[in-house]
């Protein structure tokens, strides 16, 4: 295996473990789902969602900082390319936790936010044992093409009784409104 392939595999494993470690029994794997999400480019139709793609690409820097300093730029060159759906979702969950929901009393809830998005897309039960590529492709396309319900069901964030059509707003705005709805339950 080449060094390039090794880094690519380590990056994937790092992302996988970031949001899966300790979440389920070791016998349960979501690798097929994660490979699909990582092989799918994050595309967007609302200009400001470019920021979500940028955050996903910056996730590579976070990973590169876990490696020897002299490899940093080389690693970023290896991982160069468009942002994947998986990168965008993990980066969004991290940003949500670190910038909005950070609370030492509860600990890090990045995994919770990531799995909440997967659940809303209908993908949280898509283990390797039952992985359905067509179903997954359809769910991801619904999210990317903003074909989910106006209250966000089927997208990244579901807000019951939402007065606005979430399909018309950037992902960050959806996240902020979701956090307001989430916090109002406490």
Instruction: Please tell me the distance from the alpha carbon of residue 181 to that of residue 160, in angstroms, as a whole number.
Output: 8
Mean pLDDT of the 145-159 span = 97
pLDDT of residue 150: 97
pLDDT of residue 186: 42
Q: pLDDT tens digits, residue range 93-113?
A: 999 988 876 666 765 678 899
Read out DSSP for the chain?
--HHHHHHHHHHHHHHHHHHTTTS-TT---HHHHHHHHHSB---SSGGGHHHHHHHHHHHHHHHTTS-GGGHHHHHHHT-SPPBHHHHHHHHHHHIIIIII--TTT---HHHHHHHHHHHHT-TT--GGG--HHHHHHHHHHHHTT-S-TT-TTSS---TT-SS-GGGS-HHHHHHHHHHHHHHT-
184 has pLDDT over 60: no
Which sequence spans correspond to the domains of the chain? 3-140
Mean pLDDT of the 8-36 span = 91
pLDDT of residue 88: 98
Cα dihedral 59, 62, 63, 65, rounded to 10, equals 160
pLDDT of residue 104: 67
**pLDDT band, very low/low/confident/very high, at 23 (cuts 50, 70, 90):** confident
80 has pLDDT over 80: yes
Mean pLDDT of the 129-157 span = 98
Mean pLDDT of the 69-79 span = 93
């Amino acid at each position: 295996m080449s060094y390039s392939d090794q880094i690519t595999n380590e990056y994937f494993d790092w992302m996988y473990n970031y949001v899966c470690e300790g979440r389920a029994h070791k016998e349960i794997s979501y690798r097929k789902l994660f490979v699909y999400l990582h092989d799918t480019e994050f595309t967007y139709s609302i200009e400001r969602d470019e920021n979500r793609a940028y955050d996903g690409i910056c996730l590579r820097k976070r990973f590169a900082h876990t490696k020897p300093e002299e490899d940093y730029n080389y690693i970023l060159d290896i991982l160069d390319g468009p942002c994947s759906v998986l990168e965008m979702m993990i980066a969004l969950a991290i940003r949500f936790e670190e910038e909005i929901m950070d609370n030492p009393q509860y600990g890090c809830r990045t995994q919770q936010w990531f799995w909440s998005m997967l659940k809303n897309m209908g993908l949280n039960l898509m283990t390797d044992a039952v992985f359905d590529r067509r179903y997954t492709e359809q769910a991801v396309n619904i999210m990317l093409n903003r074909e989910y319900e106006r209250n966000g069901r089927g997208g990244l964030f579901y807000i019951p009784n939402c007065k606005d059509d979430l399909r018309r707003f950037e992902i960050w705005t959806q996240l902020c409104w979701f956090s307001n709805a989430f916090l109002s339950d406490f």
